[in-house]
Chain A
Amino acid sequence: MTLPNITILIADDDEGHVILVQDSLRSFGLDNPMLCFSDGQEVLDFIHGVHPKHRLDATTSYLLLLDIRMPKVDGVEALRRIKSDPRFRQMPIIMLTTTDDPLEVNRCLELGCGCYVTKPVDYPKFTAAMQQIGLLKPE
């Protein structure tokens, strides 16, 4: 699996989850650059160009993996704000959930993101999600 010229953004408050997601993606063959954020606020700071560590690159495409339950600004709120910003409305986003709670899944659906992957992230689930958002062609 290759995703040329895409930087993967991972937002999850759980350090272990971040490591596991990164390791999984590497094991799927993705050697893309990955940026990690510990809550929704950090992601928003990044895309608004005010993150202290990471700089937004206008020439790069991004794929956002967004955990739902996070402190400060949670995944759903972050999704809402990103989707309401015309510049990032088209950014591919995959929601990461610990459970496939229909309530949360529906909230994400209402906000315009119908794509989610239940942790732990494995190859079939991730591939299906990538196909759903159009980054991978169906085999």
Chain B
Amino acid sequence: MKFPPPTRFIVPVLLSLFGLGFLALEYEVLLRGEVQIAEKAVTDLASRQAARLAGLISSAKKDQQSEHLNRELSYHDEDPELKFAVECDLQSQIITASHRAWEGRKINTTPAVDGDIILARVISSGTPQTLILSHRDVLIAAQPINDPVNGKPISVTIIARDLSNPLGEARKNALNHLTETVIILVPCCVLLALGMHFFLIRRIETAALTAQAVLAQKPLNEILPGHDELAKISAALHETDGRLRAQSQTNEELLERYHHMVETLPAMVLVSRNQRIEFINQRGLEILGATSADQVLNRSPYDFLHPDCHADVRETADLLRNGGTADVPTERKIVRLDGVVIEMEGVSSLYHDDRGAAIQAVLTDISERKASEAKREALSRDLQDKNKELEAIVYVASHDLRSPLVNVMGFSRQLAGACDQLEGLMKASPDASVKAADLGPIVQTTIPRALRFIEQGVIKMDALLAGFLRFSRIGGAAMEIQRIDMNTLMKSVIGSLTYQIQQTHTDVRISALPGCEADPIQMNQVFTNLIDNAIKYRHPDRHCVISVQGHADENHLTYTVTDNGIGIAKAHADKIFEIFHRLDPSASTGEGLGLTIAQRILKRHNGFITVESQPGEGSTFTITLPMPHPPTRNAE
């Protein structure tokens, strides 16, 4: 740093002013000295002249006074500085004067008016007196002339000398002394200034430049040599610079590391300030499907948040601004630039910097996790359904299997009782001639009845076990999903039920049906069971009519099987799908599996079956299947 001109020159200027002041003072002192010397000399001379004149006058006769005075005045001609000489009596009347015209006049009426002051002093003191009239550059000296008898003054001689010449001389002398001083002082000052420049100002400038370079982190100049304070400052600045550079390098490395970390993090890192995205990392851009940061920066974060999340995110932002935390990962739906919604999960926090508060968020893509979660949930639902089925089966097994078992047990016991009775009868007649009348009820009623119930029970158990087996086979059978022409399938179904249809004179009406994607064997079974049921539960008083219709909308395929049969009471509508549930076992054959199997098959196809019915009027079974997507699934 160079000092600016005013600063740079202030020291020499001050020094010069100081020098000038010093010189002025010096001149004043010198001058005073010279003037004093000159005045002293003149005073002495005047005193001597006045004394001589007084001596001359007192030793001379009265009439010779003028002569002496004239002599004195002739001396005056030789001494051009002698202005006048007079003799006054004690009443200040001029007795004799160098200027004849003054004789006989009062001294204060002459140009030597100041003579009366000194006259008064001499008279009062009785001793010689001098007086410098500096305003007139004149010196006056007075000497009393005493009476030789009584020694008292009788008159006074007054001499006036011009002081201008001795004073001019004194000034010249003072000036000469001053010149000598200047001749000595100026080189000293120059040397001092040069010394200050080289040893102080240049060093200060160097130190300042060093400080400036430290601030600007530019290369530094050399360290100032020496052991003075400036050298210490310079050394300290160099050391500070070294530390700063080391710190700066560390900071750069840190910055680089953080940059690298944020940019390579497999998560979106986002900073938002005043609802404007201020920063987003590379991964964030990739996730949003942006090719450049401009597509994202300065936009509202809400532009990329699904409206479902807006309220929640606002709440979180308010929470953070009020000192709360949001460090529990929260799921967010993010809308990409192409409009695709992806599931993400993230945490956010608030931080303050010199520009105020900002919210930073770290979000990870959890689409895959959500997909697997959805799969798991589907699996879990599936398992729950299966579990319910199993529970139903266990319930049925415990109840329906136990029911025939109770008969088998009970009637076996009766059979044993009958045997005991027979044995008792045989023992009661030692000749082994048991009466037919006694045997009758046992052999004709008890035993055959017991055997009949035991056999029925066993047959029922067998049928139930066979049903279980059939039912469990559906769950285990592999599905062959393929495109099905439902019209063809229905023809096949009707074909397999031809006998029942003809026997009951049933009228089956089939509309044009939309095709679907499913396992053809299983779908065949569903419709066979439905139409078989419709025939089984036909109304005894009217002609059985069954109609099958189909309908396709955007997402679903719907098939309905409507009959005009006996219908189902509302209370039973849910139960009819339960395993082995039969509305009226006495009225029909079957094991109560048809609808259970149909329901299970549809569930496996992600579809479902429902029933609407008016008791006594008829029922409509509705089958709903998901609309197959263009890329057909091959197999489950």
CB of B402 within 8 A of CB of A20, answer: no
Please state if B406 and A19 are interface contacts (CB–CB under 8 Å).
no
Q: By the criterion CB–CB under 8 Å, are A98 and B584 in contact?
A: no
Contact assessment for A71 and B402 in the assembled complex, using a CB-CB cutoff below 8 Å:
no
**Contact among B395, B407, B449, B583 with A14 in the assembled complex (CB-CB below 8 Å):** B407
Complex: chain B residue closest to A24, CB-CB: B410
Closest chain-B Cβ to A106's Cβ sits at a distance in Å of 14
Residues of B with C-beta under 8 A to A99: 398-399, 402
Interface string of A96-126 (1 = CB under 8 A from B): 0011010000000000000000011000000
Give every chain A residue within 8 A of B453 (Cβ-Cβ).
15-16, 19
Q: With a CB–CB cut-off of 8 A, which chain A residues contact B457?
A: 16
Contacts of A16 in B (CB 8 A): 406-407, 410-411, 453, 456-457
How many angstroms between the C-alpha atoms of A54 and B406 in the bound complex?
28
Other-chain contact of A20, B407, B456, B571 (Cβ < 8 Å): B407
Question: With A69-B399, A99-B402, A101-B399 in contact, is A13–B585 under 8 Å at CB?
Answer: yes
Residues A98 and B585 in contact in the complex (CB < 8 Å), given A20-B407, A120-B406? no
- Is the CB of A17 closer than 8 A to any CB of chain B? yes
With A16-B457, A71-B582: A98-B403 Cβ-Cβ less than 8 Å? yes
A31 in the interface, Cβ–Cβ < 8 Å? no
Once the chains are docked, how many angstroms separate the CA of A16 from the CA of B415? Answer: 14
A72 to B571, CA, bound (A): 9
Q: Does B7 contact A (CB under 8 A)?
A: no
Q: Chain B residue with minimal CB distance to A119?
A: B406
Within 8 A of A (CB), among B33-88: none
Q: Does B337 contact A (CB under 8 A)?
A: no
User: Closest Cβ of chain A: how far from B134's Cβ, in Å?
Assistant: 141
B414 within 8 Å of A (CB atoms): yes
Q: How far is the CA of A17 from the CA of B395 in the complex (A)?
A: 19
- Residues 392-424 of B at the A interface (beta carbon under 8 Å): 395, 398-400, 402-403, 406-407, 409-411, 414
B580 vs chain A, min Cβ distance (A): 10
Give the residues from 44 to 72 in chain A that come closer than 8 angstroms, CB to CB, to chain B: 69, 71-72
Q: Number of A interface residues, CB 8 Å?
A: 18
Query: Could you tell me if B585 and A71 are in contact, using CB atoms closer than 8 angstroms?
Result: yes
Interface check B502, CB cutoff 8 A: no
A-B contact count (CB 8 A): 52
In chain B, what residue has the closest Cβ to A67? B403
> Which residues from chain A contact B395 at a C-beta distance below 8 Å?
101
Asked whether, in the complex, the Cβ of A17 is within 8 Å of the Cβ of B406, the reply is yes
A127 interface contact, C-beta 8 A: no
Tell yes or no: B589 within 8 A of A by CB: no
The reply to whether the CB of B444 lies closer than 8 angstroms to some CB of chain A is no
A13–B585 Cα gap in the complex (Å)?
Answer: 9
With beta carbons under 8 angstroms apart, the residue of B400, B414, B456, B583 that contacts A72 is: B583
Is B125 on the interface with A (CB-CB < 8 A)? no
Instruction: Please name the residue on chain A nearest to B406 by beta carbon.
Output: A119
Q: Given A16-B453, A16-B456, A19-B449, check contact A98 B406 (CB 8 Å).
A: yes
Chain B min CB distance to A105 (Å): 13
The distance in angstroms between the C-alpha atoms of A101 and B457, with both chains bound, is: 21
Contacts of B414 on A, CB cut-off 8 Å?
20, 23
Could you tell me the distance in whole angstroms from the C-beta of B391 to the nearest C-beta in chain A? 10
- Chain B residues near A101: list those with CB within 8 A: 395, 398-399
Give the Cβ gap from B578 to chain A, nearest Cβ, in Å. 11
CB closest chain-A residue, reference B397: A99
A72-92 vs B: 1/0 string, CB under 8 Å? 100001000000000000000
- Whether, in the assembled complex, B433 has its beta carbon less than 8 Å from a beta carbon of chain A, the answer is no
Contact B571 A77 (CB under 8 A): yes
Query: Considering the chains assembled together, what is the distance between the CA atoms of A38 and B399 in angstroms?
Result: 17
Name the residue on A nearest B408 (C-beta).
A16
> Cβ of A71 and Cβ of B403 under 8 Å apart?
no
Q: Nearest Cβ in chain A — how far from B388, in angstroms?
A: 13
Which residues of A11-38 have CB atoms within 8 Å of chain B's CB atoms? 13-17, 19-20, 23, 38
Given contacts A20-B410, A120-B409, whether A14 and B403 have CB atoms under 8 Å apart is yes
Q: Is B586 engaged at the interface, CB distance under 8 Å to the other chain?
A: yes
**Which of chain B's residues 585-626 have a Cβ closer than 8 Å to chain A?**
585-586
Q: Which residue of B lies closest to A96 (CB)?
A: B406
Residues of B449-475 contacting chain A, CB below 8 A: 449, 453, 456-457
Are the CB atoms of A17 and B585 closer together than 8 Å?
no
Known: A13-B585, A16-B453, A71-B584. A98 touches B399 (CB 8 A): yes
A binding-site residues for B, Cβ under 8 Å: 13-17, 19-20, 23, 38, 69, 71-72, 77, 98-99, 101, 119-120
Binding site for A on B (CB under 8 A): 395, 398-400, 402-403, 406-407, 409-411, 414, 449, 453, 456-457, 571, 582-586
A-B contact pairs, 20 of them (CB 8 A): A13-B585, A14-B407, A15-B453, A16-B410, A16-B453, A17-B403, A20-B406, A20-B407, A20-B410, A38-B586, A69-B400, A71-B583, A71-B584, A71-B585, A72-B584, A77-B571, A98-B398, A101-B395, A119-B402, A119-B406
The 7 nearest A-B residue pairs measured at CB:
A16-B407, A20-B410, A16-B453, A98-B402, A99-B398, A119-B406, A98-B399
Q: A69-B400, A71-B582, A98-B403 are in contact. List 19 more A-B contacts (CB 8 A).
A: A13-B585, A14-B403, A14-B407, A15-B453, A16-B410, A16-B453, A16-B456, A16-B457, A19-B453, A20-B411, A69-B399, A71-B585, A98-B398, A99-B399, A101-B398, A101-B399, A119-B402, A120-B406, A120-B409
